[in-house]
Amino acid sequence: MAGNVPLQPNTAPASQKKTAASEPVWVRTILITISLVFLGLFLVLPLITIFIQAFDQGVKVYLAAITDPEAMSAIKLTLLVIVIAVPLNAIFGVAAAWAVSKFQFRGKNLLITIIDLPFAVSPVIAGLVFVLLFSTHGLFGEWLYAHDIKIIFAVPGIVLATIFVTLPFVARELIPLMQAQGTSEEEASLTLGANGWKTFWYVTIPNIKWGLLYGIILCNARAIGEFGAVSVVSGHIRGLTNTMPLHIEILYGEYQFAAAFAVATLMSILAIITLIIKSVLEWKTKKQFSN
Amino acid sequence: MSIVINNVSKSFGSFQALQDIDLEIQTGELVALLGPSGSGKTSLLRIIAGLEYADEGSIYFGSDEITDISTKDRKVGFVFQHYALFRHMNVFDNIAYGLKVRPKSTRPGKKVIEKKVNELLQLVKLEELAKRYPAQLSGGQKQRVALARALAVEPKVLLLDEPFGALDAKVRKDLRRWLRNLHDEFNITSIFVTHDQEEALDVADRIVVMNDGRVEQIGSPEEVYEHPKNPFVYDFLGNVNLFHGRLENGKLSQGKAQFAVPGVQHEQDQKAVGYVRPHDITITKEESGQDSIKATITHIHVVGPIVHIELKRIDNDEFLEAEITKELYRTLGLQTNNNVYVKPSQLKVFFPDDYSI
């Protein structure tokens, strides 16, 4: 029945402004619902599941899992890798962004493209490349063997693989930021008598500090969670060359589900802390730009 | 501190920015580098500052050659077009920066720095804004902070790169005056770059007119305006009307019309072009002599106290531009499509064979 057709279709209420960008309420509701359901299904549900499954066999099992010696050595190795890889990549990121934004040189675009390479390459391939280079049958194998240096199936290999995979984060964050800021403040500093180093510390760094922190946090998060490349180079030697992600894989493979999830909760907690810090920094950067 | 620039050349890739620049600036002078975009004026300024290095040539501050000395050792004050204030420092710290970054041996004490900064804040009349950040200042205020910051290190030479380019017209005029007064008080050798000929004519002791990487003319504002050396300088410093003709018997003739040309020496008759400023064109209702030309008024623009009148010559269809006072305009009662007689005076004659325009 057509009984619900309004008799005066042209008199929309004055408060309802029709602009080109407004859509009816039902469209908005559907879009929001889809987003929330998607997020809920793919992000929130798995996260909650990790915590539920971790305590599935009780708190005692949970604690035993995270204080197990192999778990502890995995945690220590992950932390060691972060402590080496993140600062190195931060220094590289600042240096590369500095070079790209303050100087003119040939091959600038090539440098920027190469920095993005680790994003394009599958982490497993990245790990494989290191194996091809540094294993005993690899390119540098004989030289390394002669000098008794172990890279593959040892901690150095894991650190190298992690550095490769997390290389772009700080640079990609800083390059557009420093390019947008230009060089005039640094030039002003020079004309006022400051040398290059002082200019860097007093003028450049304060201007990029939020971007730098943000890049470091992203780099950190990825370094903790890296699996593919590290898995290829590590050799999975328990107690020696297992990082947290690798340890979780082993536990899961041995059907120790509760223990696997227990270690996973540690990584999830780290991830959540990282997200909180990231949000605070985003809020602070917005404040800085709106000033 | 006098400045001598000898034979300086600079190119960026295949673009020749500066070609054989020779320039001498006396101690305490306020010199303008005037020219269109791409003329090389900013490149020259930056080379003097040490922010760029010349490919060839040398630069002297006083009797010291400073061609290869780095910026931080040159003791110049530089004011940028877009201020370049340190965005994360407040006004006070910005001005104090130059003094704070001195090496420990020459760094003044905290109290001394404070006193100096406060003096400068008073000078630029920004005492209340000491704690503000650059983002909270207007353009004019930012530029005054930039100037104070440059003056804090007591430079021997003050360099300004289109300092008022990013400001609106009223602020520009005020700051222009203020800069001139500042210079008269402190007498620092100063060089400023501008593409605004009014600014250069208003402020500078001497103007260096540049074009395409070369110096076209150097002289006082009056010299370059009244006695331009070539068509480029004439055209750049103001509007121009052209009268193409021949220089015969000491007069410029165009068919029937003949114009007196003050001060031109020539031996042979030759092709010549007369240049006349719009305000040197008189308009009358009646013909008056062999130098009167009949023309029709095509457009009238009243701009404040001046009236710009566009005319089309009846004999050769060329366009002329005249400027008269509003008073005269009212007296004559001019309207579009009226036929009037125009008479040019103060013709400056250039020979087209000498220049390619």
Among the partner-chain residues B51, B72, B80, the one whose CB lies closest to the CB of A193 is B72
Residue B120's CB: how many other CB atoms inside 10 A? 22
CA–CA separation, A97 vs A180, rounded Å?
A: 11
Instruction: Indicate yes or no: CB of A193 within 8 angstroms of CB of B51.
Output: no
pLDDT of residue A6: 41
Instruction: Indicate yes or no: CB of B97 within 8 angstroms of CB of A206.
Output: no
Distance from CA of B156 to the nearest CA of A (A): 12
Q: Which residues of B fall within a CB distance of 8 Å from A208?
A: none
Instruction: Indicate yes or no: CB of B77 within 8 angstroms of CB of A202.
Output: no
Q: Quickly state the pLDDT bin for A4 (edges 50, 70, 90).
A: very low
Full-model pTM: 0.79
User: Cα dist. B278→A249, B315, B347 in Å?
Assistant: 87, 19, 11
Among the partner-chain residues A191, A202, A206, the one whose CB lies closest to the CB of B71 is A191
> DSSP class of residue B227?
S
Residue with tokens 């972060």: A82
Distance from CA of A202 to the nearest CA of B (A): 9
Instruction: Indicate yes or no: CB of A193 within 8 angstroms of CB of B76.
Output: no
pLDDT of residue A1: 46
A59: exposed, middle or buried (C-beta count within 10 Å: 0-12, 13-18, 19+)? exposed
Per-residue pLDDT tens for B173-220?
A: 888 888 898 899 888 999 999 999 889 999 999 999 999 999 999 999
Strands B56-61, B3-12: pairing kind:
antiparallel
Instruction: Indicate yes or no: CB of B72 within 8 angstroms of CB of A190.
Output: yes
DSSP bridge partners of B271: B246
Q: Given a cut of 90, is residue A275 above it in pLDDT?
A: no
Per-residue pLDDT tens for A181-238?
A: 988 999 999 999 999 899 999 999 999 988 898 899 889 989 999 999 999 999 888 8
Instruction: Indicate yes or no: CB of A187 within 8 angstroms of CB of B102.
Output: no
Residue A84's CB: how many other CB atoms inside 10 A? 18
Instruction: Indicate yes or no: CB of A190 within 8 angstroms of CB of B51.
Output: yes
Q: What is the mean pLDDT of each run of 10 residues along chain B (357 residues)?
A: 92 90 94 92 94 92 90 92 93 94 89 93 92 93 94 93 88 88 90 92 94 93 89 87 83 80 73 88 84 89 91 88 90 89 86 68
Distance from CA of B177 to the nearest CA of A (A): 24
Instruction: State chain A's mean pLDDT as an integer.
Output: 86
Q: Which of B75, B93, B101, B117 to mutate to test the interface with A (most CBs of A within 10 A)?
A: B101
**Residue type at A158?**
I
ipTM over 0.95: no
Distance from CA of B71 to the nearest CA of A (A): 6
Q: Given a cut of 80, is residue A273 above it in pLDDT?
A: yes
Instruction: Indicate yes or no: CB of A191 within 8 angstroms of CB of B49.
Output: yes
